[in-house]
Structure 1
């Protein structure tokens, strides 16, 4: 079997026991790190803080494998968070037999770490365009770390412009080239837990209206007739 280490991701749970979306001194913070590997059973993890090795203790509990989540996940629970706990935590994944470059994922925990927020800019919904144009749907996203945005169709089980059911965006913009009438409808932008906070997803919707020119008259219909 060929050994392989693939993409890694992380997420932060501000307080898993108090349903709180903020990182607070005196509370608990959980950092989760997940890596895809073959074979998964040979995956091992280690943790660093500011470049120095961490060992599991009463206040910093390291769990090598979490049976409640997907395989290849390790957790670092920081209990009773203190100012001295702020810093950069690194999750290092490797395979037991070595020989493959390890994966390192840095997670910064600081007093400025804030949960994500999401909104549609004023005047950007509904968005009216004409067939064959290029359109950009935009959701303004903030947060530290800044989360990935997931785009999907909100009004029906229809694929996205690239044929998938969901598209990722790192800047909150969904760009559609050569827009067609079947792309009319409601689009949802939603925060992803990966590379960000593991809190209740933030989401917003944008209505896209595609106009098309009447075949008999030189004006544009407000909404295109559905294709046969």
Structure 2
């Protein structure tokens, strides 16, 4: 704060959430650093564009510590941070991985950007490999592979070391590394393997054999039911349900609470997987997959819970004010999200704590 001609000015305050910031008009961000995946030995740039009265000084921190500049690490004239030859480890240092934020300061005060997490691209070994199967002719085969890549690896499948023809409607590829083969035939017998690729590497899983045997009567069985999912609004939910039996069971879906699943944005993948495009909060619930033997009441069920969350967003932002000395200033910040967001107030880049002349109320004023 400062005194000028008997007027008491309160520097602009910053209300921070994981999804953004709210600022006064004197100094504001046009672009803040975003989470990014870096590739080892390549250059990385993090944006920090600010508008306000000049001169404006932009500085950067990593993991809350001021970032020293060097020929390899530079702050460009527009505030962008440039890191040459991104490294996981360096001699005497933890490397370049971490959380970055930029600070902008002029005569009105100081603002701190959101924290951007910088990850290193990687593709470790598979932690789940496909397993060989014996399947009756006309039945269903399911192979799965799992690998934790950064960024998420693109998964494809090979049969006898040749890329699988995904145009065949009997093949269903799910994004969680699952390959389903329905209506299995003798020509499907062979050796399958999973291929994972991202910007860091390409890896091949162990091979798994599919052996096709003669038809026989079998009760309906759900080979793989829906898993519990937690997604963000506007993402796509895929609930797996693959059932086998002879005769082939009929797969249907319902909600445990009895509410209608609806038809908009709903699609069935393969012979029973449920895909919900552009999920909303209303899609949260427990979903029931049922496999019925045709012409009978015999059925098997499996349950999976879908939780849809909404990222925090501001409904009301604090506004800059000027008050006479001894007066009171009220700043209001309102946000919503699922789960309910936690609000933090900053003054000149530092966390604001309640004191003798500062009060934070339940509605975050």
TM tier, smaller? 0.3 to 0.5
Given the two structures, how large is their TM-score scaled by the length of structure 2?
A: 0.26
Given the two structures, how large is their TM-score scaled by the length of structure 1?
A: 0.40
